[in-house]
């Protein structure tokens, strides 16, 4: 009998494949939503533990749902959760606010086991099949099969994007438009020309370093614009899509005044 390993190790190869990837951020604490993302046909799902409300137990269950439904799962988490999220079996991490190459090197050390990094070893966890897949083979599979995606979200990070991308062990760099816009003093106006110019600058630097570059792809036009310069890793947002669909159902056949938002 073949037993599926709990650790999905497909993301590094996908990020190196040259193909365009379309995923979705999900901050809702729901394994069912993760399954829906898989059945909808997304290439990956980002379980958003930076801005989402899932606790660690729910995160582990969302990882189970992703593995069972066949969609590669990335967990966006803060640094203090890295070790525990990895032990839950995350096959990819996306870490926000990486400003320098030294920041990126520190993350590589946290994600990789000794020999490459400094990750603590525990083979009783879900990532190692509760001991069924422990030991040296598990450590090698993890070091080779867990993807590290770092986020560039400040002017300092944009200036360092090429050096960040060049760090060995960084698989992809994602430019976060909203935080970048705020850091530049333009609030949430990330479609502003000055912000878009910095996004393009960062993406080009990452691509020149030979790594996969990505950013938000809320619309096909957004995606096509950045794909034209070589970006390949795009993500939309589940709550935005759900709210839009609900809104369209709520307002259908009614006047806008009848369902106007009030602040």
The residues assigned a catalytic role are 51
Integer Cα distance of 188 and 91 in angstroms = 31
CA neighbor of 230 nearest in space, from 200, 263, 194, 185 = 200
Cβ-Cβ contacts under 8 Å for 92 (sequence gap 6 or more): 11, 12, 44, 72, 73, 74, 75, 146, 147, 148, 149, 171
Q: Is 243 helix (H, G, I), strand (E, B) or coil?
A: helix
Question: What element of type H or E holds 46?
Answer: strand 44-48
DSSP state of 230: T
């Amino acid at each position: 009998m073949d037993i599926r390993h709990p650790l999905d190790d497909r993301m590094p190869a996908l990020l190196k494949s040259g193909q365009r990837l379309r995923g979705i951020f999900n901050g809702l604490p729901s394994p069912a939503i993760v399954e829906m993302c898989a059945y909808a046909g997304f290439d990956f799902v980002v379980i958003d533990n930076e801005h989402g409300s899932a606790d660690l137990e729910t995160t582990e269950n969302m990882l189970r749902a992703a593995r069972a439904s066949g969609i590669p799962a990335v967990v966006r988490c803060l640094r203090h959760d890295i070790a525990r999220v990895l032990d839950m079996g995350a096959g990819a991490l996306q870490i926000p606010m990486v400003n320098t190459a030294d920041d990126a090197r520190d993350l590589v050390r946290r994600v990789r086991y000794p020999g490459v990094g400094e990750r603590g070893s525990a083979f009783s966890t879900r990532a190692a099949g509760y001991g069924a897949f422990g030991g040296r083979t598990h450590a090698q599979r993890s070091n080779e099969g867990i993807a590290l995606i770092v986020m560039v979200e400040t002017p300092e990070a944009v200036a360092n994007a090429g050096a960040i991308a060049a760090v060995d062990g960084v698989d992809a760099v994602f430019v976060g438009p909203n935080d970048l816009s705020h850091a530049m003093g333009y609030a949430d106006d990330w479609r502003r020309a000055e912000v878009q110019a910095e996004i393009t600058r960062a993406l080009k630097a990452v691509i020149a370093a030979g790594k996969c570059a990505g950013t938000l792809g809320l619309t096909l036009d957004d995606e096509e614009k950045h794909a034209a310069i070589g970006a390949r890793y795009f993500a939309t947002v589940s709550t935005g899509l759900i709210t839009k669909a609900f809104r369209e159902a709520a307002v259908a056949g009614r006047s806008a005044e009848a369902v106007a938002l009030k602040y």
